Amino acid sequence: MIMPKVSVIIPTKDRPKDLGELLKGILTQDYRPLEVIVVDDSQSMTALPVVNSLRNKFISSGIDLLHIKGSGEGLPSARNIGITNSKGDIVCFFDDDILFLDKSTIRKLVTFMISNSKVLCVQPIILTAYIDRSTQEYKIYVAKGPSPIENAIYKVLMVTYCDIDRFDVRRSGMSIFPLKVTKVIEARRLSGCFFCCKREVFRKVLFDTKLKRWGYMEDLDFSYRVYSIYNRGLYLVPYTKILHKCSPASRLPSEKQRQMEIIYWAYVFFKNFFKGSIINLFSFLWALVGYGLIILGRLIVKDGDKNEWRKLIFLLKAYLRLLKNMKNIIQGDLEFFNREL
């Protein structure tokens, strides 16, 4: 079997420590990529010293390590820049805050892709870790998922819920995430922090540069358009895992983040899912109501917890902004929001 050449694209912004850990992890992989392209969106080029410090190690391993200055427009734009400058038959996208848990991850994904002509894009199982503020160390978060009652409520409210061996999208633009993965899943969307695609995909689909910063829902938008055009090709495989650290560096304040989530969700919905359907529109509006009901329910259960009050206030502010700018969003104009990022 002739193994293809692989390009790795890593968008990064002001996370030199995370980037360094990832690059060192790539060197431990038993399948070496042709090249690793670091697209640096930071104003002060914080990734460059990291790249320079590891360049000789990459050269001795037969890997080209490239540093490219980004546009400053965010992750989707950085990925497109990486695609333009890449040479591989397969292109892998890594967020700068992921870690390998398996030395054969790249090999397993590439082997799966070339063994099946139907495969266009693939991702491993992604585990999540959050930093422990007391120790400043990352701890793996084992997702148990919502309780059966909570999951049923989420399902009725048209928001995101979980199911076994399903990775799908709903009429509302929300997702169905796999609570448990027991087999290879043919999906209708992928998660953006780590996945690989065959180069042919980029002849028809690129990342939407209207989505700025880390581009909330950029992964759903890109992968669902791939699925819609080819009507096939997206897979999640259960036999290798990576860790997404969810680095707190270079993130938006909570209120602005909530606005991004609501506004970008609405944009992606009208772009990809509305399709003139009253049923789809009702599902989206019902999901908006659903989010508010969920937070109200948590307020009652937690007896007026201050954090839940903050979440509710931020959500209501986001809804007001959404309503005020709905015409622009439907027309695909996000400038009213993006100029603040």
pLDDT (0 to 100) of residue 22: 97
59 or 131, higher pLDDT: 59
For residue 250, pLDDT over 90 is answered with: no
pLDDT tens, position by position, 305-319: 888 899 999 999 999
pLDDT average, residue stretch 10-38: 96
Confidence grade of residue 246 (pLDDT, cut at 50, 70, 90)? confident
261 or 305, higher pLDDT: 261
pLDDT (0 to 100) of residue 324: 97
* CATH superfamily membership of 6-146+181-244: Spore Coat Polysaccharide Biosynthesis Protein SpsA; Chain A (3.90.550.10)
Q: Which amino acid is at 167?
A: F
For 26-40, 128-142, 287-301, 316-330, which range has the lowest pLDDT when averaged over its residues?
128-142
Residue spans of the domains in the chain: they are 6-146+181-244, 254-338
Instruction: Report pTM.
Output: 0.93
For residue 70, pLDDT over 90 is answered with: yes
pLDDT (0 to 100) of residue 341: 86
pLDDT tens, position by position, 148-165: 999 999 999 999 999 999
What is the 3-state secondary structure of 226-278? HHHHHCCCEEEEEEEEEEECCCCCCCCCHHHHHHHHHHHHHHHHHHHHCCCCH
pLDDT (0 to 100) of residue 1: 65
pLDDT (0 to 100) of residue 138: 67
d(CA 156, CA 43): 45
For residue 135, pLDDT over 90 is answered with: no
For 118-122, 250-254, 290-294, which range has the lowest pLDDT when averaged over its residues?
250-254
pLDDT (0 to 100) of residue 143: 61
pLDDT (0 to 100) of residue 247: 80
pLDDT average, residue stretch 61-72: 96
Burial (Cβ within 10 Å: 0-12, 13-18, ≥19) of residue 300: exposed
pLDDT (0 to 100) of residue 152: 95
87 or 304, higher pLDDT: 87
pLDDT average, residue stretch 227-239: 95
Confidence grade of residue 248 (pLDDT, cut at 50, 70, 90)? confident
pLDDT (0 to 100) of residue 323: 97
Which has the closest alpha carbon to 226: 193, 196, 252, 269? 196
pLDDT (0 to 100) of residue 131: 67
What are 289-298's contacts with CB under 8 Å, separation 24+? 289/157, 290/154, 290/157, 290/158, 290/159, 291/157, 291/159, 291/315, 292/316, 292/319, 293/157, 294/153, 294/154, 294/157, 294/159
For residue 33, pLDDT over 90 is answered with: yes
pLDDT (0 to 100) of residue 300: 87
Confidence grade of residue 251 (pLDDT, cut at 50, 70, 90)? confident
As beta bridge partners, residue 36 has 8, 65
